[in-house]
Structure 1
């Protein structure tokens, strides 16, 4: 993103200007636009409903800018989403007979923050974007048109070699549901979720990878039972890295474990485990990946029938457990996700590139009760057209096995085509 240097001279400001004001002030504009078509088709539980296919054409625009002077910077950004074709259930528009496409119309302040940044220290206060590690626990949900941001104070300290301390105190999460959140009876889809949340990461870089210890304390103030049940305390560790084997072969690896239990006002007494392991092998233009993820279940959880499972309410959930988004809330019996993927990269196609084509398979089952929920097939092609433009086509096919095992457990197919512009 290009930077425009605005020189504020003493003569431009008049006789009241001081030498300090004559220093350079940098302005960085923000323009980020996305046009998307999304189709969602599912086998619904209502056989008398004529049309169970959703077709959404949406346009999202973010615009704003950042002014910086020395170590200080002020950023403001507005975000708006327009439904050009609203034949879909946005989650808050009342069109409950269609499948959900979670991109409601909205106009909002997406970010407004003040930042102090030096080499060893960054302090950010205000409404801001927060992405931690691979976004499994805290992320901005960038896949959706309306981004998730946080009203928070964040401190990042890097004053010790190879060590980073990253601590956030967030009083509100601004959700993807936009200005109409909570309408039409969708009270578990609010515009914002207030609370007292702490996200803490301490990471250390080694020659083999980065070791991270983390603690996430989620304290929801909302009175809606579905939201109160996501108040939790999660403590864990993560190790991720990569190493070359030969000139064209590279091995990558990831392992993580966490333990979660109820916290603050959560009426459910439970404890559950999270674990993941992944290996990747890059061979020239190909990348092969295989992995396993567990979101465990506590069958003895009190206050709720059928058990209660590990939840990650502030994650970028679309990245995990299949792109059909069947597991945004972990079922009471938990999830085991065994997955494998292959990707192929073409660095250049004329003046465009890279082009990346990928395919992913998920086998999704429960942590207990031996339920095979279903299998999912994902495919995607992305192309960087030029410095500012990129395009994507994407497909997800979730095939349920056996009887429906949780709310929304139906055969589901989704297709996307989109183009992005970023200044």
Structure 2
């Protein structure tokens, strides 16, 4: 019976180094729980990297040749932590085809090519695990496959991007502008020099693709999502939302209606009474509605070396346990159903609009304009001057009404910002 799991790791950056440190600290516990010794014995690095001292401290052999890892018959598992889609996809595919179990934290890759890679894993009777790809240190994916196995999820939504949540927290609490909040996030290392994926909602969208697969068994593409970011968000809207009783958060949401789903990412007005409104700074939170448990929330760090590394090692431990129990290489998520997207006329939400018009366009005129599209106003505030700025919250409308309202507003002024209003 096999009693030693030997691992090769691709990448010894911040998370890769943290993964080795976490395993060193938890090796005895993992052996006690799984009956197996688990060791990272070989690491792939770039030719110019100097990782010799660190590798020597942990008894790791270094190589700059991929074949030294993916073709090494003595290795059982490959951990991929180099990031980006390419060449990570090709590296993982080679490892799977060579009979290696694979663990990755690569959300971009899994969201775009996960289905293809899972099929390769199945064909070669190995597992592909990726707990760390969503919400860093929150064990949300394995929770969905186990604790919700006997439940029906109706809505999964959350704050799954720490960078934008940090920025929005500073804008709300300190009155910081969008530009200043972004600069602070970059200075602290939360945001990259090119923050596009974070501030335009793409990072959160990748994570919602994965969460949707686990919640409903449906494979959505990015093109199936409505994606908005917080780029250029006005501090006026942040403050006005608070006056209306809300806080603005970048929310990813996947909703089931009958047998259809709608998935979106965008800044949303979250009621101050909702648990997600309490998530501050770089932390993440995932809130789930279901028919059995009803409501639950999972909270924790969304990124960082040790939280992400801990999730990676939890996947390694799961593989070790499966092998020790003689379980035949399960996949992370076996739940699959045909994709059915909610039709626009059945996709309802309340919305916040910030509209700038000429000085002679009144609140009554705006109310009449919306009423003409059968849309009622729930809240209204205005700033009067050389130009007028109206901030309104509508009653629930569908996507067809939304498009009609936006077209009507465009004829009278400028729609500066449109955001969903989350239900309590």
Using structure 2 for the length normalisation, give the TM-score: 0.27
Using structure 1 for the length normalisation, give the TM-score: 0.27
**In proportion to residue count, which structure has more helix?**
2
- The structure having more radius of gyration, on CA atoms, is 2
Greater RCO (Cα-Cα under 8 Å, separation 6 or more): 2
